[in-house]
Structure 1
Amino acid sequence: MVVRSSQDLALDDDEIDRIFRALADATRRDIVRRTLGGEATVTALAAEYDMSFAAVQKHVAVLERAGLVTKHPEGRERRVRGNPDTIRRAQLLLDQYEQLWRGRVARLDALLTDE
């Protein structure tokens, strides 16, 4: 299934799966939240969690594969930046589902009020 938005942005099934699997983890959601507000180094991100640096790197890698963050080198550090475009694309998909369900509820409501 390919979902098209009003802006003709498409998410295929694999992209949708990667995005929502990545967002299913609380640590990864927090990393996205923190990096949407501004860049952070992997070291700075790791300092905030009770887990190893390597574990945080793995979380960042999952987010990067999903397109939710980008990572670029700066000297010896790796800087992570949230990707609002991917968040926007996921939001458009959720908006489409909401419209679908609102339409169904409206039809059900109309059916029940006609009786």
Structure 2
Amino acid sequence: MKEIDDALNALINVIKSTKEYNQYQTLLKKVKNEPELYGRICDYRRKSLALQLSDNENFIQENNNLQNEFADLLNIGLSNEYFAAEHQYCVMIRKIQECYLEEINIETDFLEG
């Protein structure tokens, strides 16, 4: 198990050295320094996640409503930069997860049905 712990720590260190991780962390700190903006971003993220996890038949309409409700966030440079950095960081993490699931042969077929 020590080999796995060492490899995991190495991966974490590599992730922490990436542009995506550092840009996300830098912008997160900046956003948190503006409590009202951070609160709005958190509200948006909470509602967006809830919508994505729901079985809402009107997903497109509800997503459009959510986008309209928080349209002001896209006009604020800092929040727009934050969302872009968060997206890039999540893409990187998702790629790591996909590679892991493909290469380690964890059976996930049950998720498709």
TM-score strictly above 0.5: no
TM-score, normalization: structure 1?
0.38
**Structure with greater strand share of residues:** 1
Structure with greater Cα Rg:
1
**TM, length-normalised to structure 2:** 0.38
* Structure with greater helix percent: 2
